[in-house]
C-alpha cells in the first residue's frame, strides 16, 4: 500500500459519544450502520488532509510507546476494506471535503447539506 496517499471520507457519519455510524441524510432515523471502533476511528480522521502514513503515526501514539507489531498491517487492512467499499477514497493530493462530509451529521445544517448534495448531484448514504 502506498502510505503517501491521502484519504477522505465518502459517506456522512454520525457521532454519538464514542459510537460512529454511517447515516442516510435523507432518512437519519433509519437504522444507522454502526462501525466497529477501528473503522470509526479511520472514518473520523478521513479529512482529506492527511496521508495514510500520518494515520499510522497517529495510531502508534495511541499505545503509549508500545504499539502492537501488526499495527501497520491492521491499519492498512482497514483502509483497504473501507476503500473497496467506497466509504473512504484514496488520492495522490490533499482533498477539500464538501460541507456535507466535513463534520458529523449532528453538527451539519441539514438543509444546507441537502442543497449542496443536490447541487453536486451526489447520492450518499
Q: What is the mean pLDDT of each run of 10 residues along the chain (125 residues)?
A: 96 93 82 87 96 95 87 94 96 97 95 91 61
pTM reported for the whole predicted model: 0.89
> What pLDDT is attached to residue 30?
73
What pLDDT sits at residue 123? 59
Half-sphere exposure of 67 (CA within 13 A, CB side): 14
CA dihedral (67, 54, 89, 18) positive or negative: positive
**Total length of the chain:** 125
d(CA 17, CA 94): 28
Question: Rg of the Cα trace of the chain?
Answer: 15
Q: What is the pLDDT of residue 65?
A: 77
Q: What is the per-residue pLDDT for 38?
A: 87
Amino acid at each position: 500500500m502506498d502510505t503517501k496517499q491521502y484519504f477522505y471520507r465518502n459517506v456522512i457519519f454520525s457521532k454519538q459519544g464514542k459510537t460512529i455510524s454511517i447515516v442516510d441524510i435523507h432518512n437519519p432515523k433509519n437504522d444507522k450502520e454502526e462501525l466497529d471502533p477501528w473503522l470509526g476511528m479511520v472514518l473520523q480522521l478521513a479529512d482529506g488532509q492527511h496521508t495514510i502514513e500520518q494515520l499510522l503515526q497517529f495510531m502508534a501514539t495511541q499505545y503509549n510507546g508500545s504499539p502492537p507489531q501488526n499495527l501497520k498491517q491492521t491499519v492498512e487492512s482497514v483502509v483497504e476494506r473501507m476503500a473497496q467499499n467506497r466509504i473512504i477514497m484514496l488520492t495522490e493530493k490533499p482533498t477539500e471535503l464538501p460541507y456535507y462530509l466535513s463534520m458529523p451529521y449532528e453538527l451539519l445544517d441539514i438543509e444546507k447539506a441537502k442543497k449542496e448534495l443536490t447541487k453536486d448531484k451526489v447520492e450518499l448514504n
